[in-house]
Amino acid sequence: MNEYDSEIMAGLLKDSGYHLADEMEVADVILLNTCYVREKVKHKVYSKLGELKKLKEKKPGLILGLCGCLVQKEPKETLRQAPYLDFILGTSNFFELPQVLREICGDNRGGGERGDQVAVPFMAQARKRRTQVVRVEEGRAVPENLPKLRKRKFGAFVPVIRGCDNFCSYCNVPYVRGREKSRSPKDILKEIEGLTHQGYKEVILLGQNVNSYGRGLEKKIDFADLLGLVNQIEGLSRIRFTTSHPKDLSDKLIKRMAELDKVCEHLHLPIQSGSNRILSRMNRGYTREEYKCLVDKVHQIIPQISFTTDIIVGFPGETEKDFEDTLDLVKEIGFDGAFTFCYSPLAGTKATEFKKRVSQEVSKERLRKLIEVQQGITLERNKPLIGQNLEVLVEGISKKSPYELEGRTRGNKIVIFKGKENLIGELISLRITEAGCWALRGEGELTI
């Protein structure tokens, strides 16, 4: 979501006459868009701001801004830590960026929320300015039809719902992103149609919990219905979505996933822990048995599904037995992949009040064990793919191997292969020749 908001900010700036600088040193405006899901983020941001402060001292015209979740959560603290910031914009104000820049530069001509088409002759204006702008409101809807400078050229993010009503005890999303707000299906479809005209073949529907899409909308619609509508868009080949909350994964949605040809056979379903005691303390709203039952159901209806998950270890009160329960469930389910984390207390969340903190050493050791187990499982899940011909959307030059390309299967597996750069963005068929735990290797590309 944060990346998508950054694409909007870049798009707004481009429409206002700015262009992306290749290096920080030559930029006239530097923006950090912060995601605050872990306390560590805060230290990283302030350390980065410390560096930028030095740059600003050398170049007084430089405009420095901070946006996103950290600012939304702690505006006063942010300004106390970094009083030299020229502006801060919260998660409900980031789209006011062009207007805010004009205010800073002493140009108060106003304009719409987009600050349409008023290019600022930057450095000249910047020398005059000295206003610090602070905009951190709550719950404002993000306007539709904002311009975007898309970073991803092969698959585009499209938010369908923003915010969250779930209040997991370790998470601050409901506080920094507000309550759930679904976009209208009309706006979503219009955005995706526009993307297909630009040549995008894949969309990734985004939401903190896509499964609660539609609540509060005038028209009666749920996420399964929305998938059906998106599936009808001509020119689109693949639909992905993230994230699904297990408690809201309906039978209707599972059935619809199986029926719709463009919906990829991949489900990211965060489990977080395999211990019922910890799941309850996390306020997740399901038990390990219910989660397992869901996974079995999906496997029955979509046998080729690939499952990934998120797991937190070292949650306050997690005993060795709780951790063993998580390991057992991980082995029993056999996830294709897992994003694993040590619990990190986040100020203002319920979990910070819980007693019996798990020490860092213990958390790290549990994480190490979990990763080791999961890597073995991922490898075992990948091996049967050897010899199969799989559809791959080519995403770009491989991050692991600069002379090769990489793409993604419908099951969300990365495939590395030798090929010409003009294949980037194309759907091809590759025969899988090797399986590792991070990626597969393929050959013999055929454009589909």
Answer yes or no whether residue 285 interacts with ligand SF4 by CB under 6 A.
no
Nearer to ligand SF4, 12 or 168 (CB): 168
Nearer to ligand SF4, 164 or 428 (CB): 164
The encoded tokens of residue 335 equal 């996830």
Nearer to ligand SF4, 173 or 392 (CB): 173
Nearer to ligand SF4, 166 or 184 (CB): 166
**Residue 191 in contact with residue 147, Cβ under 8 Å?**
no
**How many residues are recorded in the chain?**
448
- Backbone torsion region of residue 231, taken as left when φ is above 0, otherwise alpha when ψ lies between -120 and 50, otherwise beta: alpha
Q: Report CA-CA distances (Å) from 207 to 1, 27, 285, 396.
A: 7, 32, 18, 25
Q: At what angle do helices 2-15 and 97-104 cross, to 10 degrees?
A: 60
> According to CB under 6 A, which one of 2, 81, 132, 166 is a site residue for ligand SF4?
166
CB of 154 to ligand SF4, least distance (A): 26
Whole-angstrom Cα distance, residue 155 to residue 262? 13
Burial of 304 (0-12, 13-18, 19+ CB in 10 A): exposed
Which of these segments, 59-67, 68-76, 171-179, 393-401, binds ligand SF4 (CB under 6 A)?
A: 171-179
The encoded tokens of residue 93 equal 């104000």
Which of these segments, 163-171, 296-304, 315-323, 338-346, binds ligand SF4 (CB under 6 A)?
A: 163-171
Which of these segments, 135-143, 160-168, 253-261, 397-405, binds ligand SF4 (CB under 6 A)?
A: 160-168
Answer yes or no whether residue 114 interacts with ligand SF4 by CB under 6 A.
no
Answer yes or no whether residue 168 interacts with ligand SF4 by CB under 6 A.
yes
Q: Extract the runs of DSSP E, i.e. beta strands, from 237-375.
A: 238-242, 266-268, 306-313, 337-342
Answer yes or no whether residue 175 interacts with ligand SF4 by CB under 6 A.
no
> According to CB under 6 A, which one of 120, 171, 226, 342 is a site residue for ligand SF4?
171
Nearer to ligand SF4, 281 or 381 (CB): 281
Answer yes or no whether residue 273 interacts with ligand SF4 by CB under 6 A.
no
Answer yes or no whether residue 245 interacts with ligand SF4 by CB under 6 A.
yes
Whole-angstrom Cα distance, residue 307 to residue 381? 10
Nearer to ligand SF4, 81 or 287 (CB): 287
For ligand SF4, the binding residues in 190-229 under the rule CB under 6 A are 208-209
Pairing of strands 133-135, 181-182: unpaired
From the list 27, 13, 8, 21, the residue with the least C-alpha distance to 98 is 13
Contacting positions for ligand SF4 (CB under 6 A)? 164, 166-168, 171, 173-174, 208-209, 245
